[in-house]
Amino acid sequence: MMPVAGGNAAPFHIPARYMLTSILCLVGWAILLPWMLPKLVSAPLSYPVIAWVHLLTIGCIGSMILGASIQLVPVALQTPFPAPRVAEWSWVVWMLGIILFEIGFSREILPLLGPGATLLGTVLVGYAIAVTAMFIAAPHRDAVAWHLLAAAWLAIIGFVLGWLLALTNVNGVLGGRLLPILAAHIVCMIVGWIGMTLLGVGYKLIGMFTLAERHLDQQRALASGFFVTTGTLLILLAIVASWPRGWVTGGAVMITWGVIIAFIEVERMYRKRMRKAIDIHMPFAIASLVAMLIAVSAFVIVSTESTPLSQPLTITAVWIALIGCFLVAIQGFFHKISTFLIWLHTYAPFAGKQPVPQLDSMYDRRLAYAGLISWLFGTVTIAAALMEWLPLWWGWSIGIWLGTGLFVVNVVRIGRHWFAPMLSQPAGTRC
Ligand code: HEM
């Protein structure tokens, strides 16, 4: 297996901080779920809901993408990370940005929104520049590289729109254009940044974990990224230039087509994999891809509505994309990536000299699968409640609580190997 760390990666404590931030935000978001669920339906644009949504999107998903990218992009592009010292500071700026943004919305101290958003954007711009520098220096620019480059710059467009939204809450700069710009912001961030990152990183990691890397058809993977990116840009243009609604639907169909190609490609990689055993990440990745297909199909339907933002299907599609697709993929890949990195940090120097734990003994596979089932139960029941097919009952959150709890147990099981006693003793005395 090609390692998820190597000479090119930044020191592990930098991504580790982002990943820890991500998990803490996930726990905070999940705890609040039963209280926020009714508000999500009755007042989706109220300040507490926006704060809660961004605890997940920026705090959890954004932090995980940044942490994982600092670790994985240099490995994927076979190029050293350009500025580890800047990356070290970026976490402090990112944290400050999250704190100001969250206090600004949750406590309704609106003057904090501009500075908070600006700090977040500073980190995203640094991230896009770093990815671009590595892309230019990379010896090979394959489909994964193009996905990561497109995702980084779509994040910048999504941020500029988000920054304008933050300002308009203070000084009304957008006037009557708030809702279209909000729609553009959501599409850009969810499909453009997170979706494209997930597809690019997914091709790389699935190939590495199952020894199927050479079976990735570069042309098809490039085509899937092209359709998703072009569809996103088309939707942005159509919204900003107030083109007829058909253009937005056209963009949504292009995105769906890109996701279908990605689905077929991943299915082929799994079929042709050299490592035949079911790897821990596989059920997570498959569930995540199915959720992605459902979300983009719902998006095509929503795009034909005259007032898409007020449709229950819109909130449901966003829910399925964030909770059913991205969070499930993050959990699946986290079991592999964190285990490998911590193993490398703690045990690699002793491998071959004395007994060291095996990678998959560092977490409990049954807990991971039980967590996945609970999480999916929570995702599906809440999606049905958002569609008004089930009563909007706080108890559906228990699935997400249990899923989060079991995931965190495994995170702690993996994390404690970082502090394994082997580290503090001279090499000859360890067992
Ligand atoms: C990077 C910095 C970001 C900034 C500055 C930002 C800013 C904002 C602002 C100000 C709003 C509220 C608009 C209003 O007044 O109604 C908003 C809404 C929203 N944003 Fe962001 N955002 C950011 C990142 C993200 C990301 C990464 C995602 C998704 C992955 C996201 C998804 C959403 C969603 C779904 C809403 C609607 C929330 C609701 O209906 O309660 N945002 N954003």
CA distance 178 to 384: 28
* pTM (two decimals): 0.94
pLDDT at 355: 85
Q: How far is the CA of 253 from the centre of ligand 1 (A)?
A: 23
Q: Which of 299-303, 405-409, 421-425 comes out lowest in average pLDDT? A: 421-425
Say whether pLDDT at 392 is over 80.
yes
Residue bearing the CA closest to ligand 1, atom 10: 166
Say whether pLDDT at 19 is over 70.
yes
Greatest CA span in the chain, whole angstroms? 72
CA distance 174 to 165: 7
Strand ranges inside 5-109, DSSP E: none
Domain boundary among 126, 141, 156: 141
CA 59 to chain CA centroid, Å, is: 10
Residue bearing the CA closest to ligand 1, atom 1: 159
CA distance 183 to 294: 19
Number of domains present in the structure of the chain: 2
The residue range of the domain holding 368 is 305-349+357-417
Helix (H, G, I), strand (E, B) or coil at 352: coil
CA distance 184 to 180: 6
Q: Is the CB of 123 under 6 A from ligand 1?
A: no
CA distance 192 to 187: 7
Q: What is the mean pLDDT of residues 339-363?
A: 88
Residue 160 lies in a domain: no
> Please, what is the end-to-end C-alpha distance for the chain in angstroms?
26
Strand ranges inside 126-221, DSSP E: none
Q: Please give the structure tokens belonging to residue 250.
A: 């056209």
Helix (H, G, I), strand (E, B) or coil at 429: helix
Q: Please give the structure tokens belonging to residue 334.
A: 């986290």
Phi, psi torsion values for 29, nearest 5 degrees: -60, -45
Which residues, including other chains, have CB under 8 Å from residue 370's CB and lie 6 or more apart? Answer: 402, 406
Q: What is the mean pLDDT of residues 112-137?
A: 97
CA nearest to 202, candidates 63, 330, 368, 78: 330
Residue 222 lies in a domain: no
Is the CB of residue 313 less than 8 Å from the CB of residue 186? no
Domain boundary among 116, 141, 166: 141
pLDDT at 1: 44
Amino acid at 97: G
pLDDT at 136: 97
Q: Is the CB of 36 under 6 A from ligand 1?
A: no
CA distance 351 to 63: 32
DSSP 8-state symbol, 230:
H
Residue 252 lies in a domain: no
Q: How far is the CA of 317 from the centre of ligand 1 (A)?
A: 15
Q: What is the mean pLDDT of residues 226-235?
A: 98
Q: How far is the CA of 186 from the centre of ligand 1 (A)?
A: 7
Domain boundary among 107, 141, 175: 141
Residue 119 lies in a domain: yes
**Ligand 1 test: best mutation among 37, 45, 47, 50, most atoms within 8 Å of CB?**
50
Q: Following CA atoms 257, 261, 262, 263 in sequence, which dihedral angle do they give, to the nearest 10 degrees?
A: 100
Q: What is the mean pLDDT of residues 148-156?
A: 98
Q: What is the mean pLDDT of residues 98-123?
A: 97
Looking from the CA of residue 182, the nearest atom of ligand 1 is 13
Q: What is the pLDDT of residues 160-198, one digit of tens each?
A: 999 999 999 999 999 889 999 999 999 999 999 999 999
Q: What is the mean pLDDT of residues 308-317?
A: 92
Q: What is the mean pLDDT of residues 202-227?
A: 95
pLDDT at 11: 80
pLDDT at 8: 64
CA nearest to 383, candidates 295, 283, 289: 295
CA distance 133 to 136: 5
pLDDT at 425: 47
Residue 309 lies in a domain: yes
**For the purposes of burial, counting CB atoms within 10 Å of the CB of 136, is it exposed (0-12), middle (13-18) or buried (19 or more)?**
exposed
Residue 50 lies in a domain: yes
The percent of residues in the chain predicted with pLDDT above 70, rounded, is: 95
CA distance 206 to 193: 19
83 CB-side CA count, 13 A: 13
Residue 254 lies in a domain: no
Is the CB of residue 316 less than 8 Å from the CB of residue 298? yes
Residue bearing the CA closest to ligand 1, atom 4: 162
pLDDT at 421: 59
Q: Is the CB of 98 under 6 A from ligand 1?
A: no
Say whether pLDDT at 33 is over 50.
yes
CA distance 14 to 416: 18
pLDDT at 2: 44
Residue bearing the CA closest to ligand 1, atom 6: 162
**Ligand 1 test: best mutation among 53, 185, 188, most atoms within 8 Å of CB?**
185
CA distance 4 to 270: 19
Residue 174 lies in a domain: no
Looking from the CA of residue 97, the nearest atom of ligand 1 is 2
262 CB-side CA count, 13 A: 34
Phi, psi torsion values for 8, nearest 5 degrees: -80, -25
